[in-house]
Every structure is written in structure tokens, then in C-alpha cells.
A and B are shown apart, each in its own frame.
Chain A
Amino acid sequence: MNESHHAFERYEAIWLRVVLVMILVFLVLIAYTALNYGQTIPRGAGQIRVGEVRAGSEFANPRLEQVGNEYVAYVQAFAFGYSPGEMRVKRGRKVTFYVASPDVVHGFMIERTNINVEVVPGYVSKVEYTFDRPGTYKIICHQYCGLGHAKMLSRIVVEE
């Protein structure tokens, strides 16, 4: 084995360049997808006092409502369930979800979509999505919230 370190240093320099280019390509791709398909990234929509989630805010009347050609949903994620329960929307129409918790941290994940939200008490989470395929989608709490965590499931039905 030739132990001359010049060979290693040459390969090392090549590898370093490969790695830096790879990282740069990844960052460009992330930026591109965030700018063009980023509406499913959850955003904060301000603070809320936990006491007001069940009384004195939009969330006190949890609902899915049609606004023009779109939907707006005010969802309570609580220990251990969601309100409103099952939601029904038409396919191809944008749904804006506002989610808040009156107790502990919960999750709001919709299977087979990019909707993946942490619901932190004291803060309103907002996320937008357009369902393109009809069907029934599970809504899953994916943040440990206590003994009933695994059973904290709901559904959204997307109709033709």
C-alpha cells in the first residue's frame, strides 16, 4: 500500500467538492419545492388563550364552512379527539384548516397527504390543502398527548 498522503489528499479534495455540490443541489431543490408547492407547510396564525378555545373564539364553534368555492375549517384538537368529527368536502376545492388545542400538544396529520401539523396550545396552526382524489382520509394525532393518544383519530371524506 502506498501510504503517501498526497493520494489521500487528492481524493479528499474531490470528495469535499462532491459533498458541497450535493448539499447545494439539495438546498436548491428544497427552496424550489417550498416556493412552488409550499402551501401545505403549516403556518402560525397568531396566539390564542387556551381558555378561549372552548369559549370565546372561532374554535368554540368548531365547524367546516363553505366560503365561495372554498372551505374553511375551525378544528379543535383535544384530549382525545377532534371537533368537528367527520368532515365532508368536494374534491378539487381548497380547504383552509385552522387548528387549536385547549389542553396539550396534539398532532393533525392527514394520511396520504402532506398535511402534517403540530397543534401547540396557545397558538393557532393554519394549513391549506386541495384534495384531488376522492376517498376517506384518516386524521391522525401524531403527538403523544396522554393515555388516549392512539385512539385520537378522525376522518375527512372527499366526494366527487
Chain B
Amino acid sequence: MAVRTLSRPDAYADAPEKKVTLYLLMLGFVALLIGSLFGPLQALNYSNIDLYPFLRPLVQSYYQGLTLHGVLNAIVFTQLFAQAVLLYLPARSLGLRPNMTLAWVSWWMAFVGLAVAAIPLLGNEATVLYTFYPPLKGHWAFYVGAAVFVLSSWVTGWLVLEMWLRWKRANPGRITPLPAYMSVVHWLMWFLASLGLVVEVAVFLIPWSFGWIEGVDPLLARTLFWFTGHAIVYFWLLPVYVIAYTVLPRQAGGKLVSDPLARVVFLLFLLFSTPVGFHHQFSDPGISNFWKWVHTILTMMVALPSLLTAFTIAASLEVAGRARGGKGLLGWVWALPWNNPSVLAFLLGFILFIPGGAGGMVNASFTLNQGVHNTTWISGHFHMQVAGLVAMGAMGAAFWLIPHLTGKPLVRPGLAWASMWLWFIGMFIMTFALHWMGFLYGVPRRSYIAEVPEAYAGAGPWMVLNAISGVILFVSIIFFFYVIFATALQRRRDFSQVQEIPFAEAISKPEGNSLALLAERVWLWFAVAAGLVLVAYGPVLVGMLVNLNPVPGVRLW
């Protein structure tokens, strides 16, 4: 076996897109490492074990740690993973190369934006949590850095669109390959969805943080935030879905059951991801119950594509399990390759995703929401989803993607496997406890509970579970990051051993299928999605804009 060393400067000369993908991916994992290390501190806080005083003067408060945890994990890591995977997979599936200059522009924008935002975050000048609701007012560098960071995702989106249009011109009348189709729909969804956040930050928060305008209407800011804030969870989730649909079936030893259905699922996400934000604002004044009800209906509709995904992925895994010799009603489950850490990550992630999705439908229910809104139930819910399937899908993908990109074999696969089991067990215990603490005892989310130990004494046993899960997750973090950094930083490199991306075959193919043909009219569906957003948000936003009630900013941390 030919073994080369890292010193070769042109290791990526044949495939420069691999290098930019690797840089996006690894920058994301560095953010995830730092962000995740605060996680156990949060978990321990719930059982009145307060480690934050030991972190001074590096970290000033629980809330500064929580801000870093949320921003790095939920904004930075997730976006960079999407930028890496949904640039590279469409490029491979179309057989095209993205514009490399712009690809590096997007990486540098992400890097510089992150660095600029990191200064006030680390300096305790922007302890506003990842929702940064005004009138809490952070340092301007936080808003400017975050804006540059988010806009770098638009560059990636444009790169994918440009590749797709190039492919369409060269292949008139042909149906777009599934990974590229899903990526295009994902980026179009994000262009539409991110408008709220971009307007909030660019039009209101940045001028306000520079002192050019006196105040910001907090309700309008919240509304613009949640315009993007719910769709952003699909922005995080869909890259993992792309891998689950197009790679996982093959890794598990089977095929994707239906290619056209996968397209329909992504179109439904394009339609229903964005006009649903009021379900985060059920408890807000200033939005009428009528509009909250409209968003309730649309939110329930966005459950549809995930429920269809549950069917398709389960059926595809069943095909795999039976192909591997599994028999009977459940025999195929045990026949799946549970020893493959990449497959294991998805299997466990999907197991978490089922109760997480059910909890999501509770949150989306206008009336039930009152029982859980802003309690730790919500933290439990989104950790099940984002720290569950999204993070585990990304981690599972890293186990084959980093070797694929670098030509370096995965170091200690056994440790990778163990990290996924520990992550799953830790997350399961933690999210279970958070759900019940919030629902039964009204423990609020994002709260420095260790400061008021007697206040929630009744929830004691659940809080102990939090501490236990925090320790388990900490061990998992160490294992996982050891594996991926040891893999990426080793000197061994052998591109001749690299396998192509294991894209799965489909049983039901798109060619000649009427659903697939209908789905191919992407611009038409984009227009419908934009129209739906206009209807669901237009009247409310216009009402808020003509009745602006600006409030001056304050710093209370």
C-alpha cells in the first residue's frame, strides 16, 4: 500500500472541492467541540452542581456559557455542515465542480464572520443567548460577525444553484439526480427562510448596535427571528436527510425504496418550513389568535414530510436488513450493520427522532403549548432532534466523509462506535429528564438553576439524571473528537484507497414518473412557497411595521 506524507502540497490538486469541503467541515467540528464542552456544565447546573465559578475569569457567567453553547452548536456548526455536505454531494452527483474562487470566498466569510462574532462572545460583550432578543443589546461586532457568517451560506447556495443550472443546460429534459435535487431545494428553502433573520439583523440590529437608531420594536424583532427560526431547524436537518436518503440505504446494504417520494418530501419542506414561525410565539402579545391558528395548521403540515421520511427510511432499512438475511417481523432490524459506526449513528439518531417528533407536535399544538412553553421540555425537545439525529447524522457522516476527503483511514473505529452509543444513551437520559422537569415541575429553560436550589426541589430525581447524562455525554465528546481529529491530523494518506461516495440506488426510479416530473418544476414550487409565506406573514408584518413601537436597548449581564 502506497503511503504518502502530508508534505505533498498538492494533495488536492485533482479535486480542489474536496479541500474546501474539508475546511468547512472541520471548522464546523471545531465550533462543535468548543460549544459541546459547555453542554455538561449546563446539565450539571440542573442538578445544582455549579462549575461556572471555576471558569472565571475566562467565562463570566452561566449565561455567557449558554450563549457560546447555543451559538456555536446551533448556528455555526449546523450551517458549516450544511455548507460542506450540500456543496460536495451535489457536485459529486452532477459530476461538476463548483466555482472554486467563490467556494473559498464562502469559507473565508464564514471564518472571518465567526472570528469577529467570537470577540464579543468570548469577552462577555454579547451574552444575549442564541436568540438575541432585543432590547437586550450586544456589542455591534456580534451582529456584524453573525451577519457575515450567515451570508456566507448564501454564497454556498448560489454555487449549488449555478452548478445545477449548468447541468440543466447540458442535459435538457433530464431529471436532476436525487442528491443534487435535494440540495437545490434545500438551498432555495434557506434563501426564502433566512430573509427574516437577515432583515432583522441588517435593517434593525446592526444600525441599532451602532447607535444610528434609538430603539427596536422587540415584537417585530422576535417575529422576524422566528420567521427564520423554525425553518432553520430544517436547514439543519435536511443535510442529514440527504445522507439518510441517498447514502445510508447503500451503507446498510440495501436500496432507497422510492426516489420520487423523496423529491416530494423535500418539496413539502420547501412549502411548509417557513410559514410556521408563530408556533414559537403562541405566548406573545400583538399577534392575533387567528394568525396563530393559521400557523398551527401549517405547522402540522410540516410534520407530513418527516412522517413520510420515517416510512421511506424504515422501508429502505428493511430492504437492507432482509437482503442481509434478516427474517420475520423484526429479524431485519437485528440483521442491519449495527457495528458500522456511520450506520449506527443514523439508526440511533432516528430512534431519538421518533419521540422528539411526537413532542414537536405537542409544541405545535396551540393549546397544549401553554403547558410546556419555555420550560425545559423545549430544551429536551430540541436536544432530541438537533443533538440527536442532526448531530449524530453529521458525526456518522464524518466517519466516512473525512477519510473520503483526505485519503486518511478512520482512526479507532471502535472508539467511534462507542462514542455514538454513549451519545445516544446520554442524550436519551438527558432529554427524557428535561421533558418531565419542564412539564411536571415548570422548570424554566435557560435558567441558572444552581443559583436557586430550593426553588425546584420537587424535580430533584430528574435533575440527578441530568448530571449523570452530562458525564456520559462528556465521555462521548472526548471519544468522538479524538477519533475525528486523530483521523484528520494523521500523516498517513492514500488516495488510491479512497472509495467513491456510496450513493444508493433506488427501487422506484424517477424516470418517467409523473410525481418526479412535477417535482422537477422547482421554480414553480419556489413561487408557491414564496406565496404561502406572503399570505402567512404579510398582513401581520405590515401591521407591525406601521405600528412600530421602538424600545431602547439595555445590557443586563
Residue ranges of A at the interface with B (Cβ–Cβ < 8 Å): 1, 3, 5, 8-9, 11-12, 15-16, 19-20, 23, 26-27, 29-31, 33-34, 37-38, 40-45, 47, 49-50, 79, 103-105, 107, 109, 111-112, 114-118, 120-126, 138, 140-151, 153
Q: Is the CB of B551 within 8 A of A109?
A: no
Distance in Å: Cβ of A109 to nearest Cβ of chain B: 6
A-B residue pairs in contact (CB < 8 Å), sample of 24:
A1-B322, A5-B508, A12-B315, A19-B303, A23-B300, A27-B297, A33-B367, A42-B283, A44-B285, A79-B556, A104-B135, A105-B136, A109-B442, A114-B370, A122-B551, A123-B219, A123-B284, A123-B285, A123-B549, A138-B442, A142-B447, A143-B446, A147-B557, A150-B447
Q: Is the CB of A26 within 8 A of B444?
A: no
Q: Is the CB of A147 within 8 A of B556?
A: yes
User: Roughly how many angstroms separate A19 CA and B300 CA in the complex, as a whole number?
Assistant: 11
Total residues of chain B contacting the partner, CB 8 A: 71
Chain A residues lying within 8 Å of B263, measured Cβ to Cβ, are: none
Q: Is the CB of B282 within 8 A of A41?
A: yes
Q: Is the CB of A109 within 8 A of B444?
A: yes
Q: Is the CB of A118 within 8 A of B281?
A: yes
Q: Is the CB of A26 within 8 A of B219?
A: no
Closest 3 CB pairs of A and B: A146-B556, A44-B285, A142-B444
**With contact pairs A23-B301, A40-B370, A104-B554 given, residues A124 and B285 touching in the complex (Cβ less than 8 Å):** yes
Contact of B284 among A109, A115, A120, A144 (CB under 8 A): A120
Chain B residues lying within 8 Å of A146, measured Cβ to Cβ, are: 63, 136, 556-557
Chain A residues lying within 8 Å of B131, measured Cβ to Cβ, are: 144
Distance in Å: Cβ of B540 to nearest Cβ of chain A: 12
Distance in Å: Cβ of A56 to nearest Cβ of chain B: 15
Q: Is the interface of A mostly helix, strand, loop or mixed?
A: mixed
Chain A residues lying within 8 Å of B556, measured Cβ to Cβ, are: 79, 103-104, 145-148
Q: What 1/0 mask marks residues of chain B from 311 to 340 whose CB sits below 8 Å from any chain A CB? A: 110010001001100000000000000000
Q: Please name the residue on chain B nearest to A5 by beta carbon.
A: B508
Within 8 A of A (CB), among B47-98: 61, 63
Q: Is the CB of A151 within 8 A of B442?
A: no
User: Roughly how many angstroms separate A146 CA and B446 CA in the complex, as a whole number?
Assistant: 11
Distance in Å: Cβ of B188 to nearest Cβ of chain A: 24
Chain B residues lying within 8 Å of A43, measured Cβ to Cβ, are: 285, 289
Q: Is the CB of B549 within 8 A of A12?
A: no
Q: Is the CB of B286 within 8 A of A41?
A: no
Within 8 A of A (CB), among B382-435: none
A15-B311, A116-B374, A123-B284 known, 18 other contacts, Cβ within 8 Å: A19-B303, A44-B286, A44-B288, A79-B556, A104-B554, A109-B375, A116-B283, A118-B284, A122-B217, A122-B550, A123-B286, A138-B442, A144-B446, A144-B447, A146-B136, A146-B557, A147-B557, A150-B455
